[in-house]
Amino acid sequence: MAAPASPEAVPAAALAALSVADAPAAAAASASTAGDKQQQEKKEQAGGDDAEDSGDDEGEEEGAAAAGGDAAAKKKKKKKKKKKTGAAGGAQANACGVALFCQGPRVAPPAGTPSPYNANKAVKHRQQLSPVSVAVADMFKDKIFPEGQILPHGGEFNTFRTGSEEKRAADRLYDSMLTDLREAAEVHRQVRSDFMRWVKPGKTMIEISQYIERGTRAGLGLKYEAPPVLERGWGFPTGCSLNHVAAHYTPNYKDTTVLKEADVCKIDFGVQINGHIIDCAFTLAFDPRYDPLLQAVQEATNTGLKAAGVDVRLSDIGGEIQEVMESFEVELNGVTHRVKPIRNLCGHNIGRYSIHAGKSVPIVRNQDHTKMEEGELYAIETFGSTGRGMVLEDGECSHYMKVFDRAQEFRPLRTKGAKDLLRHIDTHHGTLAFARRWLDDNGATGHMAGLRELTDAGIVSKHPPLVDIKGSYTAQFEHTFFLKPSSKEILSRGDDY
C-alpha cells in the first residue's frame, strides 16, 4: 500500500498525520499547497524536471549528453555493472520478473524447488493446490517458514555488522516477530504465484481482488466466509489500480470494470499475522510494450532495497532510486517517454497494526536527513510513470482505515449507525485498512452514511485512488524487509520478483 507524499512535499503537520495513517488526504492537500506548487514551477522553469512532451525530453537528454554526458553514461554503466555482479538473488529476480510480465502469467517453479533466497532450515512437506487452499502453516515442518533474501546493510559503515557475533546474537530478539512475517510472506508468494497463472484479460476487477483475498485467507488457514479477525488476515484492501491510477483502487460492489489486454495493473496486497504486515506489490501487463516501464520500476525498487540499511539516509535511498528509474525510456504509440518516479508517493516503515508508521522512503532525492534504524520494518515501493510523475486523489473511494493515533481528539458520534459501524471496525479491522466490500460481505451493508460520519469525525480516514494524468501509465514494485542487527532480510522476495 502506497504512502502518499514524500517528506519534501509535505509540511511537518501533514507528516505527523502520515505517521498515524496513510493519509492521502494530507498528501493531496500538501501536494496542492502553494509552497509545493511554487517549488514545482521553479523546477520546471529551471528545466530540472522532466518536460511534459517527449520532444523536449529528447532535447534535454541530448543536451545533457553533450554537456556532462560522458560522466553520466559512465555512471549509468557503473550502476548496471554493479547490479550484475551484485547479489545473485537480485539479478535473478530481475531477469525472470521482466520476461514474466510481458508474456502474461508465469508458471511457478516445480514443487520442491529450493528458492535461492531461503537459507534457513524450512522444510516443505506438503504442496499447495490451485486455487490456494492449503494453509501455509501446514506445509512447513515445525512451522519453520522460509527466510527471505538476506542482504548486508547498505553503507560502508555497516560492513562490521555482517561478521559480528554480537549483532548475530541480537538478531534473535526478533525471532517470534520474524516467524509471523515469514509465514505472511510465504502466503503472499504462494497467492501471487497461483494468481499469476490464473489471471487473464476478461476477468472483472472484483473477480481479481476476490481471487487474491480468498487465496490469502486459505493460505492463512482461515475460512473465506468467516468474519475477519485481528489475529491474522488481509493486511489492507487488494489494490488493482489500472493504468494512470497508481494506487489505492480496489473495486466497490457494482463496479463492473474488466481487465483488458492493454492494461497496466498494479497488484498490491497485504498479509498480516498478529499485526505484523507484509506489504508487497507487482505490476501485471500482458503487452510487451510496457516492459521497459516495468523493468525501470523493478530495478528502481531493487536498487532501493540494496541501498537500505541501518543509519542510511532515507533521502539517499530516494536519490539512488530516482537515478535508476530515470535512466529508462519507454516508447508507446511512437512517443518516447522518460520514466519518471511519482515523486509524491513513497515507501514507509511499518508498525504493528500500522501500515504507515511515520517514516517515508522517498523515490526522489529530498532535503530530509532522517535515517533508518535497527529493528525497523520497511516497505520500499517505487512507482514509475509516463505522465507527470505526480498523483492526486480522484475517483470513488474504496480504502478506509481507522486513525491509529488515540491521542487525537475526535468529534462525538451522533447516530446509532455510526456507533455500530465503529464497533464493527474495531472488532474486525482495528487500525488495519479495509475495503468497503469487506463491510458488505460481513453484514455491514448500507454503511455509507455511518462511514461518512466516522470520516467527518476524524475517526476513520479515507484513501481514494491516487492518479496521474489520464492516458498515462504507471507501474509499481514493492517489497517488505526487516533491518536485523546483522543483516537485512527482504521478507517478501520470491523467485518471481
Site for Co ion in 439-458 (CB under 5 A): none
Query: So which residues are the catalytic ones?
Result: 268, 279, 348, 356, 381, 478
- Interface segment toward Co ion; rule CB under 5 A; list 82-90, 136-144, 223-231, 276-284: 276-284
Smaller CB separation from Co ion, 263 or 381: 381
Smaller CB separation from Co ion, 50 or 279: 279
Site for Co ion in 88-117 (CB under 5 A): none
Smaller CB separation from Co ion, 1 or 466: 1
Beta bridge partners of 381: 478
Contact 452, 267 (CB under 8 A): no
CB of 200 to Co ion, least distance (A): 26
Total number of residues that touch Co ion (CB under 5 A)? 4
Smaller CB separation from Co ion, 270 or 309: 270
Cα-based distances in Å from 229 to 195, 225, 232, 277:
24, 12, 6, 14
- Interface segment toward Co ion; rule CB under 5 A; list 85-93, 245-253, 258-266, 379-387: 379-387
Phi first, then psi, for residue 91 (nearest 5°) are: -65, -40
CB of 14 to Co ion, least distance (A): 18
Q: At what angle do helices 314-325 and 54-85 cross, to 10 degrees?
A: 110
The beta strands (E) that lie in 327-472 are given as 329-332, 335-338, 340-341, 345-349, 360-361, 377-385, 392-393, 399-402, 434-435, 460-463, 466-467
Cα-based distances in Å from 47 to 38, 291, 328, 484:
14, 27, 19, 41
CB of 42 to Co ion, least distance (A): 30
CB of 366 to Co ion, least distance (A): 18
- Interface segment toward Co ion; rule CB under 5 A; list 9-17, 162-170, 284-292, 378-386: 378-386
Using rule CB under 5 A, residue 379 touches Co ion? yes
CB of 279 to Co ion, least distance (A): 4
Q: Going residue by residue from 334 to 373, which x/- string records binding to Co ion, judged by CB under 5 A?
A: ----------------------------------------
Rounded to whole angstroms, how far apart are CA atoms 307 and 382? 14
Beta bridge partners of 352: none
Beta bridge partners of 167: none
Assign 361 to helix, strand or coil.
strand
Site for Co ion in 181-210 (CB under 5 A): none
Smaller CB separation from Co ion, 398 or 442: 398
CB of 399 to Co ion, least distance (A): 12
Phi first, then psi, for residue 483 (nearest 5°) are: -90, 90
Q: Give the type of residue at 25.
A: A
Q: Give the type of residue at 102.
A: C
- Interface segment toward Co ion; rule CB under 5 A; list 160-168, 238-246, 271-279, 481-489: 271-279
Rounded to whole angstroms, how far apart are CA atoms 312 and 299? 19
Using rule CB under 5 A, residue 277 touches Co ion? no
Rounded to whole angstroms, how far apart are CA atoms 493 and 186? 9
Beta bridge partners of 490: 149, 481
Smaller CB separation from Co ion, 279 or 495: 279
Smaller CB separation from Co ion, 279 or 393: 279
Using rule CB under 5 A, residue 279 touches Co ion? yes
Name 393's Cβ contacts closer than 8 Å, sequence gap at least 6: 24, 25, 27, 28, 464, 465, 466, 467
- Interface segment toward Co ion; rule CB under 5 A; list 174-182, 311-319, 380-388, 458-466: 380-388
Contact 366, 247 (CB under 8 A): no
Smaller CB separation from Co ion, 218 or 294: 294
Site for Co ion in 35-54 (CB under 5 A): none
Please report how many Cα atoms fall inside a 13 Å half-sphere around the Cα of residue 444, on the Cβ side. 28
- Interface segment toward Co ion; rule CB under 5 A; list 272-280, 367-375, 445-453, 469-477: 272-280
Assign 43 to helix, strand or coil.
helix
CB of 172 to Co ion, least distance (A): 27
- C-alpha cell, 232: 491474522
CB of 204 to Co ion, least distance (A): 25
Q: Footprint of Co ion on this chain (CB under 5 A)? A: 1, 279, 379, 381
